[in-house]
């Protein structure tokens, strides 16, 4: 697996970071250079070095290419709430084009075999009342990896997200079934249903 991919999910807290870290670690085991990016994160702790997000730090720990924190997470919002509301609270304007500018700078200055760009929340999480974070992979024309949190209701969430990704003109490169540490009832049958209905291959970890 080589290239630059956008990692999204069917919801928040369904394992995007966990999956991204495992993919980065697999790449390292195969001798590939790799790193993960978290362009915008809501939910940061104040440190002596500034606000830090645990997802961004996890991506850094699993990356072979070592970047500065501000390159990994250029927009770090303190409150663990919807990003557009957190940005409003901090009187900050966040646009997909600005995030794309940060990404372009890092991608140009740091080459790697695999780069994973992790989103925040699900596919349509707002950046403002005018645009969603899904505008970022569209601007960058990134293939998408979808993390499906395996819980009741996930089939609907997964199919709607896959449909939205394709409607936005992007390639759904593959998807991951993440059991969230609590295997759902009839897990195998639910995974089989998703394998039959999602128009992309399942990525196993």
- At the topology level of CATH, where does 3-197 sit? Rossmann fold (3.40.50)
Instruction: Determine the pLDDT at residue 183.
Output: 77
Instruction: Determine the pLDDT at residue 180.
Output: 87
Give the integer Cα–Cα distance in Å for 141 and 184. Answer: 34
Instruction: Determine the pLDDT at residue 181.
Output: 82
CB count within 10 Å of CB 189 equals 10
Give the integer Cα–Cα distance in Å for 74 and 95. Answer: 12
- What burial letters (b/e) apply to 136-152, b meaning 16+ CB within 10 Å? bbbbbebbbbbbbbbbe
Handedness of CA 67, 70, 71, 73 (dihedral sign): positive
- Positions marked active-site: 38
Give the integer Cα–Cα distance in Å for 177 and 188. Answer: 10
Instruction: Determine the pLDDT at residue 19.
Output: 98
DSSP assignments along 141-160, one per residue: T--EEEEEE-STTHHHHHHH
Q: Which of 83, 85, 94 is nearest to 53 (CA)?
A: 83
Helix or strand run (H / E) with residue 23: helix 16-29
Handedness of CA 142, 143, 146, 147 (dihedral sign): negative
CB 53 within 8 A of CB 76: yes
Q: Which of 121, 156, 162, 118 is nearest to 14 (CA)?
A: 121
Instruction: Determine the pLDDT at residue 134.
Output: 98
One digit per residue, pLDDT tens: the chain, 205 residues?
999 999 999 999 999 999 999 999 999 999 999 999 999 999 999 999 999 999 999 999 999 999 999 999 999 999 999 999 999 999 999 999 999 999 999 999 999 999 999 999 999 999 999 999 999 999 999 999 999 999 999 999 999 999 999 999 999 999 999 988 877 899 999 999 999 999 999 999 9
């Amino acid at each position: 697996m080589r290239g630059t991919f956008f990692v999204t999910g069917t919801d928040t807290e369904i394992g995007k970071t966990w999956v991204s870290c495992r993919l980065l670690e697999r790449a390292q085991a195969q001798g590939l250079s790799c790193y993960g990016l978290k362009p915008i994160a809501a939910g940061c702790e104040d440190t002596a070095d500034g606000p830090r997000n645990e997802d961004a730090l996890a991506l850094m720990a699993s990356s072979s290419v070592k970047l500065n924190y501000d390159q990994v997470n250029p927009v770090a919002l303190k409150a663990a709430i919807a990003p557009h509301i957190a940005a409003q609270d901090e009187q900050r304007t966040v646009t997909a084009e600005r995030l794309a500018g940060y990404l372009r700078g890092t991608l140009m200055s740091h080459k790697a075999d695999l780069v994973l760009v992790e989103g925040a929340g699900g596919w349509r999480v707002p950046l403002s009342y005018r645009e969603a974070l899904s505008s970022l992979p569209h601007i960058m024309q990134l293939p998408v990896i979808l993390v499906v949190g395996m819980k009741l209701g996930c089939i609907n969430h997964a199919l709607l997200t896959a449909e939205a990704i394709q409607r936005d003109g992007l390639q759904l490169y593959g998807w991951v079934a993440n059991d969230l540490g609590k295997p759902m009832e009839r897990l195998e049958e639910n995974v089989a249903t998703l394998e039959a209905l999602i128009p992309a291959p399942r990525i196993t970890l």
